[in-house]
Amino acid sequence: MTVQNMDKTVSRKQRLQEKQRRQLAVVDTVDKAEIKVRKAETELAVAVAEAVQVFGDEQSASEGLDMPVGTIRHFLGMAEKDAADTAKEADQDGGKDGGKEAESSDGA
């Protein structure tokens, strides 16, 4: 009987480990997909912002892109936030390297 109980215990443990492995794999897949979606949304936001500049205003861009004005504004907000975040990161990075970037470009 003891051998049979050990087999059941190992079997349960293996099933649990396999289930956890599959769960972690799915979570990893979803995380990667979310990153791709965020990147695509950011690219779309930049494209919409460019379209507004090319068309002249939000209403014209809305008509030209066949996209509601509210959606245009949503993507414009995303583009502005992304630009602000990028500028903030650039400012922070500029302070961290102590101007080494400028020195390396002067030596070229």
Q: Where are the domains of the chain?
A: 2-96
- pLDDT above 70 as % of the chain: 81
pLDDT at 4: 64
Q: Is the pLDDT of residue 1 over 70?
A: no
Burial bucket for residue 85 (CB in 10 Å: 0-12, 13-18, 19+): exposed
pLDDT score recorded for residue 29:
98
For residues 39-65, give the mean pLDDT: 96
Model confidence over 77-90: pLDDT tens digits? 999 998 888 888 88
- Tell me: pLDDT of 42 over 70: yes
Helices (H) and strands (E) in the chain, counts: 4, 0
pLDDT beyond 50 at 96: yes
Buried-state track 49-67, b at ≥16 Cβ within 10 A, e below 16: bebbeebeebeebbeebeb
pLDDT value at position 101? 45
Is residue 40 scored above 60 in pLDDT? Answer: yes
